[in-house]
Amino acid sequence: MNKQSGRLTVFFVWLASFLFSLLVPTCYKSSIPENYARLIKEAFDTFGPSLSTMVTFMLLLPKPRVAASGQEHNGENQYADIIALTLAFVYAGAYDLLMIQFLIGKYTAEETVGLFQQLRPYFNMFVTALLVYYFGADKHSTTRSGKPSSRGVPQPASK
């Protein structure tokens, strides 16, 4: 898997989980009027910052360079890809599981909000690592114009 397809996979996993976290309370809005806004807020607080970071980097990062063979040139670590994708699925799956348990009546809206708030600080350390790995600028990346990027790479002094 190349880094670009990994980025898209993580983005769509996050997006699907975010939409699911919005859909469930919306379907039950009439039965949870006092907690509807709190559940929606938790969905935005949980997925919003990460999604906005992903979109920003996807819009700013240059397209991957393609080697003569037609394959994207990269030297990424396959194990890092597996770990990053696993973290994405675990993060999204944990919050989807909370919403499913709310949906089937195992948790009340108040309990679901509390669980979102309890879990988010523990998962954020994984989210940060995942975002930096997949969405941070590559050390040897170029800008859209094809010129070397100055982000994070020292540039020689011009004469």
Return averaged pLDDT per consecutive 10 residues of the chain, 159 residues in all. Answer: 82 95 95 94 94 87 58 61 86 95 95 95 84 71 50 49
37 phi-psi bin (left φ>0, alpha ψ -120 to 50, beta other): alpha
CB 72 within 8 A of CB 159: no
Give start and end residues of each alpha helix (H) in the chain: 3-27, 36-60, 78-103, 109-135
DSSP SS3 for 71 = coil
pLDDT digit string (tens) for 15-49? 999 999 999 999 999 999 999 999 999 999 999 99
How many other C-beta atoms can be found within 10 angstroms of the C-beta atom of residue 25? 24
